[in-house]
């Protein structure tokens, strides 16, 4: 399954750049709100409810659904699950799919919990670890009543293993099968099913039709996790198969902690609760993390300060790049941006190119956030409040389904205690009300030298929340009760009661140059950008093709199908870029881009172009020969094996 970059990096809420040219939200557009997708995943989520037959007794009592209440005769024993973890040589699995990596690079891909080791919420101290140790695995199996592959009744230790038919998974699963057999006498039968079945709405995972099941999650900066690990998120016929807790794992301690972690905006408390979940997750061994998938970026061996990061675009520090003897750096793209107006265009190539034109308010390195253009990241009690307020009929509130509605009888909301309630129309109801202020550093200017102003932020908000703007979602806009641009640098958002964005501190709405005079031919020529209706912004050249910059570079030309040319922005508020010119050159495919890199016609092939295909091995070998530099990254996409704890 190909990872979608926008679900990885732009799933960092409103963060990429606070003063983005013609960009609605701080760091991108209000169209990228990961809170709407509670889990950013590779698999499809459960579709519409399935109607089940209800068996009724003579007393008109609904028969109890006993599906998935019988513990799995093998996997229901935690010692067996722990044994399997010790019997799997994960470094060997990594080597089977990434043989060209060094031992150190391979080690960097290992996962121990559902969070990468560099994540802000990762528990790297009190979890249970499972290093490759077949002797310990065999001892655990013996304690569980299995010896040399059989139990006391002579039944074999045999399990069905299901995953997709992708060649990548067939490779490491073949090694896994041999490992379990040779190391611990565990026999597995592999089924490599089509993705359409494995991730189908009514088949495979969604119906818990597996014993050992392998697939990938895509991690993100906010861990979420309720739908994965809470007791009430186990898919069953009785709940129309809702939830993504496919293991059937119900650990009350972990369940309470994962809910608590997602019902507070206090980061320290969230770290504490996520630590508990990870402890229980590893102790119970309900899902075996295998490894992060690889992605890579390659560059001219002499390019200094090239520092790709798994949760940021590799151009995040482009102003620091330096290439001795050259004033121009060429980037290779195999896909041309459809537009630089990221409110309506979210492809990785568009976001990468548009990011050159944006003064960053916040970066999102290593699964966390860092203030850059903002004076600080606001927190509860320091720039933000999250007060309890009593709401009454008719008040606009935020529902559990992520909508702003007038409170009325039957509306489902989350109360101030974090409980899901359906309002009865008369009882007192208290909800959380979040207010956040963002302060930008002074001195930001547009490329024409005009300071970024209050009017620019007001225009940015107006356009991004206009129903005719072309945005694909207005969830973030809808969650805001009031927007106030208090000055040229300070913005305050008051959200509807019930809104609890966990990454509320990453930014609000960005600015658009209200003063810009339209020069392109058409009905708006000679008018100011503020006079152009939102519905016409996507097709306006001053927005889609040559927006004014507040970032380190400004765009000077775009030859469609050929290249985009950028020059250093002399009015950039940060450190002046060390490289004068950047060129994005378009190539037919990754092979052509890599070939150009090897011949010196290109200086950078980034993650969105290089990916994790066969070309990675090519550039890694070239780097070993001293021809270029390669940065291999543990991507947020991670392979794992779930254990189904129950049978039908």
537, 554, 602: which is closest to 297 by C-alpha?
602
What's the pLDDT tens digit per position in 370-411? 999 999 999 999 999 999 999 999 999 999 989 999 999 999
pLDDT above 70 as % of the chain = 90
Q: Scanning the structure block, which residue is given the tokens 């059937």?
A: 248
Number of Cβ within 10 Å of residue 366's Cβ equals: 17
More confident residue, 418 or 446: 446
Tokens representing 216 are: 């990938």
Q: How far apart are CA 27 and CA 506, in angstroms?
A: 9
Per-residue confidence (pLDDT) for residue 472, from 0 to 100: 79
| pLDDT at 11 (0 to 100) | 31
Kindly list the strands in the beta sheet with 429-439, ordered across the sheet, starting from the edge strand earlier in the chain.
379-380, 383-391, 429-439, 490-495, 480-485
pTM score: 0.84
Give the single-character DSSP code of 64: P
**pLDDT reported for residue 356:** 98
Q: Which phi and psi (to 5°) does residue 75 adopt?
A: -75, -10
Q: Find where tokens 């399997």 sit.
A: 84
Mean pLDDT of 527-540: 97
Report in angstroms the alpha-carbon separations of 100 from 104, 288, 621, 632, 645: 12, 24, 8, 11, 36
Q: Are 292 and 636 in contact (CB under 8 A)?
A: yes
Boundaries of every domain in the chain: 379-439
User: Does position 205 have pLDDT exceeding 60, yes or no?
Assistant: yes
End-to-end CA distance of the chain: 29
Q: What is the CA radius of gyration of the chain?
A: 26
Nearest to 326 by CA among 352, 308, 300: 300
* pLDDT exceeds cutoff 90 at 67: no
Record the tokens describing residue 181, joined without a space: 């057999």
Q: For the ranges 22-31, 73-82, 322-331, 638-647, which has the lowest average pLDDT?
A: 22-31
Predicted confidence band at 66 (pLDDT cuts at 50, 70, 90)?
Answer: confident
Band of pLDDT at residue 65, cut at 50, 70 and 90: low
Distances (CA, A) of 60 to 25, 63, 65, 237: 55, 9, 15, 20
Alpha-carbon separation of residue 427 from 389, 402, 420, 422, 424 (angstroms):
14, 22, 14, 10, 6
pLDDT of 297 reads 97
Contact 157, 142 (CB under 8 A): no
Q: What are the helix (H) ranges across 387-504?
A: 454-464, 475-479
Q: Convert the pLDDT of each residue in 542-561 to its tens digit.
A: 999 999 999 999 999 999 99
What pLDDT does 346 receive? Answer: 85
Kindly report the backbone phi and psi dihedral angles of residue 476, in degrees, each rounded to the nearest multiple of 5, phi listed first: -65, -45
d(CA 349, CA 370): 23
Give the helix/strand (H/E) hosting 272. Answer: helix 267-284
pLDDT tier, 64 (very low <50, low <70, confident <90, very high otherwise): low
Query: Torsions phi, psi of 356, nearest 5?
Result: -65, -20
What are residue 379's phi and psi, to 5 degrees?
A: -135, 165
Say if CB 479 and CB 30 are below 8 A apart: no
Please give the pLDDT value at position 648.
Answer: 87
C-alpha–C-alpha distance, residues 103 and 91, integer Å:
8
Rounded to an integer, what distance in angstroms lies between the CA atom of residue 375 and that of residue 609?
34
Is there a contact between 216 and 637 (Cβ–Cβ < 8 Å)?
yes
Give the mean model confidence (pLDDT) for residues 331-338: 97
Angle at 185 between CA 132 and CA 84, to 5 degrees: 40
Give CA–CA dist 490/504, Å, rounded.
15
Is the model's pLDDT at 191 over the cut of 80?
yes
Would you state the structure tokens that stand for residue 531, as one six-digit string? 């006079």
Q: Cα–Cα distance between 539 and 533 in angstroms, integer?
A: 11
Over residues 142-160, the mean pLDDT reads 95
Q: What is the 3-state secondary structure (H, E, C) of 127-149?
A: CCCCCCCHHHHHHHHHHCCCECC
pLDDT tens per residue, range 564-615: 999 999 999 999 999 999 999 999 999 999 999 999 999 999 999 998 888 9
**Helix/strand/coil percent split, the chain, to 5:** 25, 25, 50
What are the helix (H) ranges across 356-498? 454-464, 475-479
| Distance, CA of 531 to CA of 95 (rounded, Å) | 58
SS3 216: strand
pLDDT tens string 224-233: 999 999 999 9
CA–CA gap between residue 204 and residue 182 (Å, rounded): 28
């Amino acid at each position: 399954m190909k990872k979608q970059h926008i679900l990885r990096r732009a799933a960092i809420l409103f963060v990429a750049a606070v003063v983005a040219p013609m960009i609605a939200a701080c760091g991108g557009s209000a169209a990228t709100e990961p809170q709407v997708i509670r889990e950013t995943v590779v698999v499809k989520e459960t579709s519409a409810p399935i109607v089940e037959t209800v068996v009724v007794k003579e007393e008109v009592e609904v028969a109890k659904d006993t599906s998935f209440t019988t513990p799995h005769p093998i996997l229901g024993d935690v010692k067996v699950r722990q044994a399997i973890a010790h019997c799997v040589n994960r470094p060997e699995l990594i080597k089977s799919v990434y043989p060209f990596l060094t031992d150190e690079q391979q080690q960097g891909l290992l996962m121990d919990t559902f969070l990468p080791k560099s994540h802000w919420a990762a528990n790297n101290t009190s979890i249970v670890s499972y290093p490759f140790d077949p002797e310990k695995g065999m001892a655990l199996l013996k304690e569980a009543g299995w010896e040399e592959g059989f139990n006391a009744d002579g039944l074999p230790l045999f399990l069905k293993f299901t995953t997709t038919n992708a060649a990548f998974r067939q490779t490491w699963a073949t090694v896994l099968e041999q490992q379990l057999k040779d190391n611990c006498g565990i026999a597995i039968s592999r089924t490599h099913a089509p993705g359409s079945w494995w991730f189908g709405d009514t088949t495979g995972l969604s119906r818990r039709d597996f014993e050992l099941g392998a697939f990938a999650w895509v991690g993100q900066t906010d861990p979420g996790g309720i739908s994965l690990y809470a007791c009430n998120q186990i898919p069953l016929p009785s709940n129309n198969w809702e939830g993504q807790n496919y293991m059937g794992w119900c650990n009350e301690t972990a369940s309470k902690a994962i809910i608590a972690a997602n019902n507070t905006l206090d980061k320290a408390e969230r770290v504490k609760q996520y630590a508990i979940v990870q402890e229980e997750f590893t102790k119970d061994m309900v899902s075996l993390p295998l490894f992060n998938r690889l992605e890579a970026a390659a560059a001219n061996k002499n390019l200094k300060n090239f520092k790709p990061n798994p949760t940021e675009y590799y151009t995040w520090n482009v102003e620091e790049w330096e290439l001795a003897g050259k004033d121009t750096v060429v980037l290779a793209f195999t896909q041309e941006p459809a537009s630089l107006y990221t409110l309506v265009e979210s492809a990785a190539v568009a976001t990468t190119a548009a990011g050159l034109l944006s003064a960053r308010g916040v970066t999102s390195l290593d699964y966390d956030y860092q203030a850059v253009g903002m004076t600080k990241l606001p927190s509860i009690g320091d720039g933000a409040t999250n007060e309890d307020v009593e709401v009454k009929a008719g008040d606009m509130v935020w529902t559990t389904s992520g909508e702003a509605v007038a409170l009325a009888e039957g509306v489902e909301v989350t109360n101030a205690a974090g409980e899901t309630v359906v309002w009865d129309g008369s009882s007192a109801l208290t909800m959380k009300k979040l207010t956040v202020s963002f302060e930008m550093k002074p001195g930001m200017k547009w490329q024409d030298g005009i300071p970024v102003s209050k009017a620019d932020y007001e225009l940015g908000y107006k356009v991004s929340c206009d129903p005719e703007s072309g945005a694909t979602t207005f969830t973030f806009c809808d969650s805001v009760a009031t927007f106030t641009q208090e000055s040229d640098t300070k913005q305050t958002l008051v959200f509807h009661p019930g809104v609890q964005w966990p990454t509320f501190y990453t930014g609000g709405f960005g600015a658009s140059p209200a003063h810009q005079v339209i020069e392109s031919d058409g009905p708006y020529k000679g008018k100011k950008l503020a006079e152009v209706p939102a519905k016409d912004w996507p097709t306006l050249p001053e927005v889609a093709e040559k927006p004014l910059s507040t970032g380190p570079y400004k765009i000077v030309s775009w030859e469609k199908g050929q290249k985009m040319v950028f020059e250093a922005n002399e009015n950039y508020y940060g450190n002046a870029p060390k490289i004068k010119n950047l060129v994005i050159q378009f190539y037919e495919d990754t092979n052509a881009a890599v070939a150009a890199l090897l011949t010196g016609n290109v200086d950078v092939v980034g993650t969105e172009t290089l990916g994790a295909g066969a070309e990675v091995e090519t550039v890694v070998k070239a780097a070993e020969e001293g021809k270029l530099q390669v940065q291999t990254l543990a991507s947020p996409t991670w392979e794992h094996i779930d254990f189904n704890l129950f049978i039908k």
